[in-house]
Amino acid sequence: MFKKVNSAAYSGLKSIGIDVEINTTKKGLSEFNIVGLPSKAVDESEERVKNAIINSNIDFPEKRITVNLAPADVPKEGSFYDLPIAIGILASALRFKIPEKSLFFGELSLDGSLRHTKGALPLALFAQSEGYKNVFLPEESANEAAVIKGINVYPVKNLDQIIDFLINKRKLKPAEYQNRERKEEEPEFDMSEILGQEQTKRVARIAAAGGHNLFMVGSPGSGKTMIARSLPGILPELSDKESLEVTKIYSISGNTSPGSGLIRKRPFRAPHHGISKVGLIGGGSRPKPGEITLAHRGVLFLDEFNEFPRSALEAMRQPLEDGGLTISRSKQRVNYPSEFMLVASSNPCPCGYLNHPEKECECTPRQVSRYRKKISGPILDRIDLHVEVPSVDVEKLKKERRANSNEKSKEIRKRVVKARKRQAKRFKKEEIRTNAEMKNRHVKKYCQLSEKTEEILSQAASKFNISARGYFKMIKVSQTIADLEDADEIKADHVAEALQYRSKM
């Protein structure tokens, strides 16, 4: 008997429909074969399905079973074909009809229950766009898929339950989306908790407002990591569209937790510097997203920036510029988005104590310059804001707390959002949204400079030997400072402040 069950596969972030065809015949020895370019995980599906059916107290048919995953030339991966295969086998054994316009998806446990499976949200999106009506998937993954409107998402606990439903013995209620993440998510660190570091906090605010990449240099323990970790808390909240994009990436890479829904928090990724090139930018023979894609719409924090393998950092150049990358392999070609804010930090020298107020630096000038040269120039070129984070005497600061620095992250976020709105209005006819994304032509078109501002700019350019690229970077940063102050024109004061954050490397 021949049965067809619909399911889906994904290549990169795109989903493709997969027909799971099951044929059972009495002719020949009883056997179970899966064809259609299955990977190891799909191949092993055989044992999971067999045992799950037996443990659900159903006799496994003693027949020759052939499963074909069509189209046969697309490589199949993952464990989510367990459910469609089991349904196909049981449909012919128990003689029930497979509901029309339905997708089946999920990994089986040997006891017949379904496990949380990655990729639920992209599947639901695929179902919606392709006109499917029903989606059957593991209960723990259902909430993620229920975000999508216009389809019935059936949460399935185990084989028993779904079979009872399909033979009309039991009712199954479609899942309703539950927002499990609190809307007002508390940030990991609040800006107001950070003592001192006035300038660094100011720079963090500018970075958030204009979407600029940030580079911090400072001795160990000066608070670089804390500043970086508090950044997501001052960035605008994820919009619905952004949230969907982020959840999709996390779902496909298996980073959503069971029962979770849409991700509302901006991603913050802080990979260790031992990371490989593939780990950072993504890849593999079946290309997987890397950290830069997982940080999409969020912050990628690279601590000890110059300890990262140079090849990995160099490979980051193009995605940093384009906000996405295409990974080409012989079998497939996938696109991954990577619009993230790069926050890098490093020590000022190998021992870490150059310019430290108390500790003595042990490095020779040569060691220092060699250490700094490890960072590639083209990457530094793509970072608009540079700041030195001084070491502070926390005890001393605790005594003299000042009001102006104690602004809560929530308040800062409001200002950031306001500045972003100004930018959105400015660039409404363009493809870009933030000042950081401006190309030279945008700078020339949109940035209003008074005569006095131009004067101070050219004065600064000659005094500090600023390159043409540095000149444009300064205008971009000045524009964000002006936006934060709700000013229509870039004033001399804005440029003077931006001068503080130029690269000193």
Residue 201 interacts with another protein (CB under 8 A): yes or no: yes
Residue 366 interacts with another protein (CB under 8 A): yes or no: yes
* Distance separating alpha carbons of residues 295 and 230, to the nearest angstrom: 15
Residue 450 interacts with another protein (CB under 8 A): yes or no: no
Contact predicate 356/388, CB 8 Å: no
Cis check: omega of the bond before 236, within 30 degrees of 0: no
* Distance separating alpha carbons of residues 388 and 357, to the nearest angstrom: 14
* Distance separating alpha carbons of residues 345 and 385, to the nearest angstrom: 12
Nearest CB to another protein, comparing residues 331 and 396: 396
**CA dist list (Å): 289 to 124, 253, 273, 278:** 20, 7, 18, 9
Nearest CB to another protein, comparing residues 5 and 195: 195
Residue 460 interacts with another protein (CB under 8 A): yes or no: yes
Nearest CB to another protein, comparing residues 84 and 196: 196
Q: Name the minimum Å distance from CB 308 to another protein.
A: 24
Contact predicate 84/45, CB 8 Å: no
Residue 258: which of 446, 116, 45 has the closest Cα? 116
**Which of 49, 481, 482, 490 touches another protein by CB under 8 A?**
481
Strands across the sheet with 14-25, in order?
A: 31-35, 64-70, 14-25, 2-11, 102-104, 134-138, 152-156
**CA dist list (Å): 441 to 302, 413, 438, 494:** 30, 29, 8, 21
Residue 326 β-bridge partners: 335
**Which of 59, 400, 431, 451 touches another protein by CB under 8 A?**
400
Span interacting with another protein, options 179-187, 260-268, 296-304, 385-393, rule CB under 8 A: 385-393
Residue 463 interacts with another protein (CB under 8 A): yes or no: yes
Residue 459 interacts with another protein (CB under 8 A): yes or no: yes
Nearest CB to another protein, comparing residues 275 and 361: 361
Residue 274 interacts with another protein (CB under 8 A): yes or no: no
Residue 77 interacts with another protein (CB under 8 A): yes or no: no
Residue 326 interacts with another protein (CB under 8 A): yes or no: no
Residues numbered 330-359 forming contacts with another protein, rule: CB under 8 A: 354-355
* Distance separating alpha carbons of residues 477 and 117, to the nearest angstrom: 44
Helices (H), strands (E): how many in the chain?
Answer: 21, 18
Q: Name the minimum Å distance from CB 209 to another protein.
A: 12
Q: Name the minimum Å distance from CB 183 to another protein.
A: 31
Q: Name the minimum Å distance from CB 405 to another protein.
A: 8
Residue 399 interacts with another protein (CB under 8 A): yes or no: no
Both tokens assigned to 220: 């160990």
**Which of 44, 188, 307, 497 touches another protein by CB under 8 A?**
497
* Distance separating alpha carbons of residues 380 and 161, to the nearest angstrom: 57
Residue 436: which of 398, 385, 370 has the closest Cα? 385
Site size for another protein (CB under 8 A): 31
Separation of first and last alpha carbons in the chain:
72
Residue 364 interacts with another protein (CB under 8 A): yes or no: yes
Q: Name the minimum Å distance from CB 228 to another protein.
A: 18
Which residues would be at the binding site for another protein (CB under 8 A)? 196-199, 201-202, 354-355, 360-361, 364-366, 369, 388, 390, 392, 400, 402, 404-405, 456, 459-460, 463, 481, 493, 496-497, 499-500
